[in-house]
Structure 1
Amino acid sequence: MENIESNQPITHDTRTLITEAFVQHVLETGREPVSVYKFAQGIGIREEEFYSYYTSFLGVKGGVWEQIFERTIAHMEAQPVHASYSAREKLLAFYFTWIEEMKKYRSYLLALYLQPEGFRKAMPAELRSFKIRFQAFANEIIQQGIATDQIVERKYISDKYADALWAETLFILQFWLKDTSTSFEKTDAAIEKSVNLAFDLAGRTAVDSLVDFAKFLYQSK
C-alpha cells in the first residue's frame, strides 16, 4: 500500500480513511492486515489515532458494514416517492438499494465471506452493529405495517418479526454472494419472493380468517 504523508492531520474523515484503506488492503492482498501499527503507518496516522476510532480490525470490518447500511438508507430516503411507500415497498426498496451499495464492495465481500458452506458462523461478529441498525429500521417498517393492517399483531410472535427479517437479510446476503446470474437476476427474484412471503406470513392469512370466523360463530351462539 502506498504510504501517505505521516503529518496528515486527524480529521472527521479519518474513520472513512481507515475503512477505505482496509478495504483496499483486502482487495490487493486477499486477506486482512495483520499489524495495526504497520497499517496505521501505511495510511499516515499514528497507531494511537487508529484506536481513537476502532479497537481492532474487527471493528473496522463492522465500520464497513455500517457505512454500507447508512448509504443504503440515505439513497433510499432521497427518492421522492419513498415517503409514500407501503411497509412492503419500503422493505423491497431497502434490499434492492442495499444490493446496489454492496456491488461497490463485491470483490471485498467475496474475499472475506464467500465460503462453500456460507458464513463460518451464523452471523460474523462484525455484523452486530449492522444488525442493531437494521432491526431498528425493521421495527419502523413493522409498526407501519401494523398501523396499515399489512401486518397482524400476534401475541408472543410480533416481538420476533424483526428477528425474522434479520434472518431474511442474512439469507439474501449469502444468496447474492453466490449468485452468478446475469445482473444478479436471481437475487432480485429471491428478494421479491422472500419479502412477499414474509408479509404473507406476517399478514392476515386464511388461518387467521378461519380462527376469527370460528370465534364469531362461537360468540354468536
Structure 2
Amino acid sequence: MSHPSRKYNPNDPQRERVYIAERCVDFPRAPEFQSLSEIRAFAQQVLRSPTWEALSRHTLQDGRGVVVKLGRGRRAVAHNRLVGDPAIILPRASWRRWTIFHELAHCARGKLTANHGPQFTASYFRLIHDCWNPDLAHRLQSEFERMRVRVAPWAPIGHEVPKPDPTSVGVSRDEGADLPTEIAQRARDVTYQKAMVAFWRKVRAGAFKTK
C-alpha cells in the first residue's frame, strides 16, 4: 500500500504519523497472495474471529460482512458505508496481510471517529496482534509511541469493548471533540495519558495474550 504525500488534514491529524510508523516496521512489502479468492478466504478467517466480533460489535450491526474487491490503478481503500456491506478495494500491489488489516481496521472504526484516530489504531494493532503476528504488532506499537500516535485502550476478548464515541477520552480537539472549556480539555488529556500508561503496562505484561 503506497501513501502519496498529502496535505495535513485537520479532520484526520494522525494520518501521516500512522503511515510513517508503518514504513518503519518490517512488514512484508511484496504481495503475499496469488489471487483475489485467496484474499477473500483470508479475510473471512479474520471476520469469523472473536477479535473481529468484539471490534465490530458497535460499528457493523445487523451481521454485515466486508466485501473485498480488486482495484485497478488505485491505492488500497476501505469504505464503511451507511447502506450495504463495507468494502475493501485492493490493487495487486497491496495484496499483503498488513494492508488488509489496515483496511479492515477502517471498516471496524466508528463512522464518527477520525479516519486514522485512536479507535482505528487500536483496532489495527489488535487485529495484527490477535490474528497474525504479535511480534510485528508490538513493533508497530513501539513506532506508534515514537511517533506519538494515539491508541485507544480496549478490553480483552470476552469483555465488553467500549462503544466508539467522538467525544470520549482519546479524541483530541482537532479530531472533532467539542469541548466547552480549555480546563475540560486538559482534564481529558490527563485522563487519556493515565489510561494509556495503564494499558501499555498490561500489554507488556502479557495480559492480553491468547493461549
TM-score using structure 1 length: 0.30
Larger-gyration structure (1/2): 1
TM-score using structure 2 length: 0.31
